[in-house]
Amino acid sequence: MSLPVAAVGAVVAALLETSVLPDLAPAGLKPDLVFVLTIVATMMIGVEDGLTWAFLGGLMLDILLPERAPGGTSFVLLACAGLAALIARVLPQRRIPIAVAAVFVLSWVYQLLSVVVLSATSGLGVPDPRLQLLIGIALINATLAIAAAAVARWAWLRYGAHDRMEW
């Protein structure tokens, strides 16, 4: 995947996350589409694409949601993308179950770090995160990651860089 495609995808994902997904959220559990696509892109395609998703998607979320300080979500997404890159260096790359497990585990990190960063930048106290909400959001994110990782793996196998002999 090229970086311009990742940039446009991050902007579209942020628009979908702020406009369409809040209306489709079951029981108030809104999936984090930009986060899921950031982690999947980092683990399935490459670090550069994942960082592009993280920075531009986070910046768009901060612009589209007025209660957020600019740069806070980008910082949290970049930290999670860095953790995903570390996981991808240790474990086998481009494996769908590993990407889904990473999304499930890093959903907890993303939610808790978002609460801390956004409460620090807005000047409010740290709210008490509910365990049921965190489990539900992590499961929804992991479910979305299955489809996103399958598409990313297909795109990588179809269009990714392959080792070929040059004649």
pLDDT tens-digit map of 6-61: 888 888 999 999 988 877 777 778 889 999 999 999 999 889 989 999 999 999 99
Indicate the residue type of 140.
I
What angle, rounded to 10 degrees, do the helices at 33-44 and 96-122 form? Answer: 130
Choose the weakest-confidence range: 74-83, 84-93, 114-123, 144-153.
Answer: 114-123
CATH number for the domain harbouring residue 143:
1.10.1760
* Domain-located, residue 166: no
* Domain-located, residue 94: yes
In terms of DSSP H, where are the helices of the chain?
3-19, 21-24, 33-44, 47-64, 72-90, 96-122, 131-159
Total domains, the chain = 1
* Domain-located, residue 167: no
Question: How many CB atoms lie under 10 A from the CB of residue 94?
Answer: 17
Q: Which domain holds residue 128?
A: 3-159
pLDDT at 95 over 80: yes
* Domain-located, residue 164: no
What's the distance, Cα to Cα, between the start and end of the chain in Å?
A: 25
